[in-house]
Amino acid sequence: DLLGSSSAVLLNALKVLAGIDDSVDLLSPAMIEPIQNLKTHHLGSKNPRLHTDEVLIALAVGATTDTNARTALDTLSQLRNCDVHSSVILGPVDEGVFRNLGVNVTSEPVFQYKNLYRKR
């Protein structure tokens, strides 16, 4: 409930590449919840889950005091030329972050939502 699926994939991939145990939380719920509050109560978002760009910013902040977060952040360049496949078409933010990191993105030709138009 705290992260979007692309964000969870990103953090899990970084843990694998960095050799960080899967049970380690790179971002604590205590760090994520204020960001969700900001998004939903002050910025008008209906979706409290963190997108990939928000997760990377939180990871960068966490890296100032957490060695696991620092190690994961230092591993970002190893994502270049990795592949990610989604069962739905990714939103522009998540797809853009993956592409900026050099990750090859593919998806099924299925929209996540049934409505054709989304208010942005």
Domain ranges of the chain: 5-107
Q: Is the pLDDT of residue 119 over 90?
A: no
With 90 as the cut, is the pLDDT of residue 117 above it?
no
- CA dihedral for 111, 3, 7, 86, sign (positive or negative): negative
Homologous superfamily, domain 5-107:
Domain of unknown function (DUF1846), C-terminal subdomain (3.40.140.40)
Q: 52-110, pLDDT tens digit by residue?
A: 999 999 999 999 999 999 999 999 999 999 999 999 999 999 999 999 999 999 998 88
This prediction's pTM: 0.88
Arithmetic mean of pLDDT, 38-49: 94
DSSP conformation letters of 47-112? --SBPHHHHHHHHHHHTTT-HHHHHHHHTGGGGTT-EEEESSPPPHHHHHHHHHTT-EEEE-S--S
Q: Please answer whether residues 76 and 14 qualify as being in contact, where contact means their C-beta atoms are separated by less than 8 angstroms.
A: yes
